[in-house]
Amino acid sequence: MATTNNSRFEAYNRLQSAAVAFGENLPIPEIVALGGQSDGKSSLLEALLGFRFNVREVEMGTRRPLILQMVHDPTALDPRCRFQEEDSEDYGNPVLLSSEVADTIKSRTDAMLQKTKTAVSSKPIVMRAEYAHCPNLTIIDTPGFVLKAKKGEPETTPEEILAMVKSLANPPHRILVFLQQSSVEWCSSLWLDAIRDIDPTFRRTIIVVSKFDNRLKEFTERWEVDRYLSASGYLGENTQPFFVALPKETTIVSNDEFRKQISQVDSDVVRHLKENVKGGYDEEKYKSRIGFGCLRDHLESELQKRYKEATPAILALLEQRYSEVTAQLDITDSKLQATSDVAHLRRSSMLFASSICNHMGALIDGSGDPDPEQWGKTTEEEKSESGIISWPGVMAGIKPPNSTLRLYGGAAFERVMHEFMCAAFSVECPPVSREKVANIILAHARSGGERGIAKAAAEIARAAAKSWIAPLLDTACERLAFVLKNLFDLAMEHYHFDYGKKTGDMDGYVGFQAALRRSYNCFINDLAKQCKQLVRHHLDSVTSPCSQVCYETDLLLGPGPNFTSRYQTSTTSACLDLSYQENIPPENINNNNKNQAGKLLKGAGEASVTLLETPSPDQPRDGSFVTKKEHANIIEGGARARHSRMMHASEMLTNQNGSQLGTTYSEICSLAAQHFARIREVLVERSVTSALNSGFLTPCRERLMVALGLDLFAVNDEKFMDMFVSPGAIEILQNEKQTLHKRQKMLHSCLTEFKLVARSL
């Protein structure tokens, strides 16, 4: 039985060392010592080791955890201590002097804290102690709880220590040894609640009352001793503490003398309870809980019990981890071999790029994976991350449908389209100064009457549309390009979601992925540039003097009493708002101008009376025939007549008291506003929407793979390999292979050893 226990203990020790070296997270049964500073943890560890090494002087338990692997070796008459190298499973040369042990702990602690620039570190120091007088026991010493940071330390040190100790104690496979001085009452314990947070029922906690000899002089009656030893009022019926006292001598003594002192203190405590307490104490119930020797035997047997119970699960986990590391090693080997196999890399990278393009298409068409709450963005987040906070010329905040939902892909694209439409329909024809109207109407005076007014209003509307709508079109293209650029990371995540990581994938080729991302971004930037040119072309067409948009019948007749903007009837109804907000499209500026066309025609008639046409030499005035004399006078006075007409029009626009002034100016502004609304409606609903959809989405579905292929793969082998064999890449792969090979070798060794251990169960 002893041989089996020893082999099992050695197997777990080697596994623990390997786990620390390689960062393996294995549920190895371990003992964790915790408690407040000066509660006796360091003294307990020295007693378990069987020799002193002045650990208290270097305050071992206040900076880094210390894993003490105690190995009972009958041949080691003097303790042999070896420290595991940082980030390695190898141990250094034996340290024989006790002072060197303490110095090594201190130097390693200081070096790590200087490296991490912290007051404490969770990375443990591993020390293996082989000695004829220590048990087979592994225990993790943790920093002691403190209430206040020492001078020169950060004020957050107590919180950092508490958090670190909890993280070490939380794993359910660890046994907790909590120490508290006997002079502290359970009801006023500072750290008992912290232990309850970790292990509420004390199911895996061994409570140790340290410095028990300090309390003995207070007991005179048996009931006092028994009540104190039970501690049932605070710890529960099923929790029985251990009561330990250790030598207080600080003078340097030999290791043999130190162990004799420990045994002597145990004997003195028991003798005091028997001889100095009236009636003694309940030996049958509490004798196995008093003294350091009892605690040491209990810890050793408890750990062996947990080792035995955990062996099957550890064996299964080792087999799994060995298979995983072997698979990772195979992948690394394949990558190293592929660095010289151009054909293989071309084939694999093409398949990968094609798959990413397919996933982008799926995201554009609509997908619920990956998780939208993690990968999607609200409208505000899109604006913030794209750097495009607002729409040019739009003062009011625009909230499109579903602005608060986290969307991506096709859904986010559609939302930006609706946001653009909301922004466009919130822009009205800007006010026009009288001087501007005068310059335009007087230039069109030769057209006369209502025709001159219509031309002037149309020119004002066209100029306003070019000035105010053009920036909105550019902004829409940039926002849509941002939505599509986000698809690269989403497609990568979608790829792993569907297929997972597998042999031959491109995960390790950072250079290729960077080139693929760059090529994709360039493709989207080109689309954005082309779309800007396309929608500008539509804007130029609609605002061309040759365009008949401003003169269509429904505008000249004016909106009827039941008129509703096409944007309000079709666009809004087509958008399903799933968010918790109302979206009210901007009111059409024409809605308040009912029967305006009649007024315009009436005004145009009045203007035709005021702005006289130049009499024609071929037609009589006022419906009568013209005599030769009159005809001559008209020809002779032609210039004077034109001058008179221009002066009259000017007076009409500048005379502040004339009734005709306000009528003509307001008519031109009103008609210009209607022309502007008509241009905007035709442009946004008939042209731009379809142009942006076909300009962005269709190429992403149909031309993306071709564009990426020409950019990445239509190159010679030397240039192609630059994406895969960047400087230092082969060295990185070789180092990765070497590390994986060491881990595989370690796991194989532990697996073989545990198979032998499992046979003895």
Residues 6+ apart with CB under 8 A from 174: 29, 30, 31, 32, 140, 168, 204
Higher local confidence (pLDDT), 542 or 575: 542
Task: Give the mean model confidence (pLDDT) for residues 469-482.
Answer: 93
Superfamily of domain 35-171: P-loop containing nucleotide triphosphate hydrolases (3.40.50.300)
Are 30 and 173 in contact by the 8 Å Cβ rule? The answer is yes
pLDDT-above-70 percentage for the chain: 77
Q: Rounded distance, CA 761 to CA 8, Å?
A: 10
Which residue, 107, 112, 113, 21, is CA-closest to 67?
A: 21
SS3 category, 141:
strand
Band (493; pLDDT cuts 50, 70, 90): confident
Which residues have CB under 8 Å from 479's CB, separation 6+? 382, 386, 388, 416, 419, 420
Is the pLDDT confidence value at 181 over 80?
Answer: yes
Diameter over CA atoms, the chain: 157
**Helix, strand, or coil (residue 166):** helix
With cut-offs at 50, 70 and 90, classify the pLDDT of residue 63: confident
Residue 243 three-state SS: strand
Q: What token pair was written down for 3?
A: 């041989």
For residue 571, give the DSSP letter: I
What pLDDT is stored for residue 505 in this prediction? Answer: 59
User: How many Å apart are CA 114 and CA 117, to the nearest integer?
Assistant: 5
Tell me the mean pLDDT in the region 201-207.
88
The whole-angstrom separation of Cα 128 and Cα 21 is 14
| Per-residue pLDDT at 419 | 92
d(CA 438, CA 705): 57
pTM: 0.51
Spatial contact of 50 and 79, defined as CB atoms under 8 Å apart: yes
Q: Is residue 727 pLDDT above 70, yes or no?
A: no
> CA-CA distance, 624 to 636, in Å (whole number)?
20
d(CA 157, CA 118): 9
From CA 147, how far away is CA 628, in angstroms rounded? 120
Residue 615 pLDDT more than 70? no
Residues 140, 83: contact at Cβ < 8 Å? Answer: no
Whether 739 shows a pLDDT value over 70: the answer reads yes
Residue type, 320: Q
Q: What's the pLDDT score for residue 106?
A: 85
Which pLDDT does position 530 carry in this prediction? 94
End-to-end Cα distance, the chain: 11
Determine if the peptide bond prior to 65 is cis (ω within 30°). no
91 torsion bin: left (phi>0), alpha (psi -120 to 50), beta (else): beta
Bigger pLDDT: 599 or 145?
145
Contact 475, 688 (CB under 8 A): no
218-227, 283-292, 365-374, 604-613: segment of lowest average pLDDT = 604-613
| Residue 407 confidence (pLDDT) | 92
Q: Where in the chain is the domain with CATH 1.20.120.1240?
A: 345-551+662-714
If you average pLDDT over residues 240-267, what whole number do you get? 85
Residues 6+ apart with CB under 8 A from 115: none
- The rounded distance, in Å, linking the Cα atoms of 187 and 541 is 86
Q: Is the pLDDT of residue 567 over 60?
A: no
DSSP sequence for 544-570: STT--GGG-HHHHH---TT---HIIII
Query: What pLDDT shows up at residue 451?
Result: 62
Which contacts qualify for 753-760: CB closer than 8 Å, 24 or more apart? 753/10, 753/11, 753/14, 754/11, 754/15, 754/311, 754/314, 754/315, 754/318, 755/315, 756/7, 756/11, 757/7, 757/8, 757/11, 757/311, 758/311, 758/312, 758/315, 760/4, 760/7, 760/8
Position 614 pLDDT exceeds 80:
no
Non-local CB neighbours of 526 within 8 Å, separated by 6+ positions: none
Q: List, in sequence order, the alpha helices (H) in 339-426.
A: 342-365, 372-375, 379-386, 409-425
Q: Is the pLDDT of residue 66 over 60?
A: yes
Enumerate the β-bridge partners of residue 69: 128, 138
Q: Which helix (H) or strand (E) holds 530?
A: helix 510-542
Domain with CATH 3.40.50.300 in the chain: 35-171
3-state secondary structure 662-713: HHHHHHHHHHHHHHHHHHHHHHHHHHHHHHHHHHHHHHHHHCHHHHHHHHHC
Question: Is 507 within 8 Å of 356 (Cβ atoms)?
Answer: no
Q: How far apart are CA 478 and CA 199, in angstroms?
A: 55
Q: How confident is the model at residue 250 (pLDDT cuts 50, 70, 90)?
A: low
Mean pLDDT for all residues in the chain: 77
> Residue 558 pLDDT more than 90?
no
Q: What is the mean pLDDT of residues 582-608?
A: 36
Distances (CA, A) of 61 to 40, 45, 210, 708: 11, 11, 16, 58
Give the amino acid at 24: E
Q: Read off the pLDDT of each residue in 217-233 and give the average, rounded to a whole number.
A: 84
Q: Kindly tell me the sign of the dihedral angle through the C-alpha atoms of 267, 270, 272, 275.
A: negative
State residue 35 phi and psi, 5-degree precision. 160, 180
Query: pLDDT tens across 306-328, in order?
Result: 888 878 888 888 888 888 889 88
Average pLDDT over residues 452-465: 84
Give every CB contact of residue 113 below 8 A, 6+ residues apart in sequence.
63, 64, 119, 120, 121
For the domain made up of 345-551+662-714, give the CATH fold.
Four Helix Bundle (Hemerythrin (Met), subunit A) (1.20.120)
Residue 445 near residue 645 (C-beta atoms within 8 A): yes
Mean pLDDT of the region 713-719: 86
The two three-digit tokens of residue 261, written as one number: 């002192």
The 10 Å Cβ neighbour count of residue 557 is 13
Q: Tokens 């993790």 correspond to what residue? A: 140
Residue 641 confidence (pLDDT): 40
| The residue type at 717 | D
- pLDDT-derived band at 580, boundaries 50, 70, 90: very low
